[in-house]
Amino acid sequence: MSATQTFSVARYNLDATLTSGQAFRWRKADSGWVGVIGRHWVRLRSDAFSIIADTATPVEDWSWLRDYLQLELDLTTILNTFPEDEPMRNASEACSGLRLLRQDPWECLASFICSSTKQIVQIQQIIGLLCERFGEPIPALPEFSPAYSFPTPERLARATEAELRACKMGFRAPYLLGTARKLAEGFDLARLAAMPVENAREQLLSFPGVGRKVADCVLLFAYGFQTAFPVDVWIMKALRQLYFPRRRVTMKRMHRFAASHFGPYSGYAQQYLFHYIRTKSRSPNNVR
């Protein structure tokens, strides 16, 4: 038996949120978006005042979805903390209703280990292959393609490097394998949630294939550390273009600027800048 539930929420832009490079398992369907959250297959649709969720199996407790979508969050409060400069005004306007999700730490960590110098469409492809080959089948509504859970660390720890490379992740395979093994041997990712952000980052940096950028993505997208500020090539481009025109800027300087300029929700601001600069550079009069 399937289930349908309507959640009352305003200003939630599913399209922007699910295409903004924080999660990689969502596919556009005829109506809405289809994805997997933990052990749940789900289709999401939205209108101006609500999000409608369809599942393939009965659901008693929807907290997994409320938490993932962060439905209780007051977006206006956060937007009001953004600096009142022109770049942020433009980004806020262009990305109206963009939200940060709250993802599973392991899935988020594994996904971003696979993300380095890959385009988002390719990251989606890698993660898709990983789930098909190492995840568990999950019931989906009949008219949709088969769904799979994200593979556990234990399952990936038993895979070979060649099997992982066959998922098109290239030189990232040994990194993912090393990280999966460390977790399978008992490293507890959940305890990072209770740490100060600097300590949690230090823990993440101890995994192979995890540097400052990947660590910050996990801190922000999985643990909700609101000051984590991932700096990738797009954010570098955005900061240079919008805040440091025609000046040389080091990575250190960018992090310092981010920490002092964007306020207590700088991670949120970062996501707005990221989506803004990416969608802007793809507009019809500026094709790349």
- Kindly state whether residue 94 participates in binding DNA, applying the rule CB under 7 A: no
Cβ nearer to DNA, comparing 49 with 259: 259
- Kindly state whether residue 222 participates in binding DNA, applying the rule CB under 7 A: no
Cβ nearer to DNA, comparing 51 with 210: 210
- Kindly state whether residue 98 participates in binding DNA, applying the rule CB under 7 A: no
Cβ nearer to DNA, comparing 162 with 194: 162
- Kindly state whether residue 22 participates in binding DNA, applying the rule CB under 7 A: yes
* Number of residues binding to DNA, judged by CB under 7 A: 45
- Kindly state whether residue 175 participates in binding DNA, applying the rule CB under 7 A: yes
Which of 16, 53, 98, 123 is close enough to bind DNA by CB under 7 A? 123
Radius of gyration of the chain (CA): 19
Q: Which stretch binds DNA (CB under 7 A): 25-33, 46-54, 137-145, 210-218?
A: 210-218
Q: Which stretch binds DNA (CB under 7 A): 50-58, 73-81, 118-126, 181-189?
A: 118-126
The contact set with DNA (CB under 7 A) reads: 20-22, 112, 115-123, 125, 165, 168, 170-171, 175, 205, 207-215, 217, 230-235, 237, 250, 252, 270-271, 274, 278, 287-288
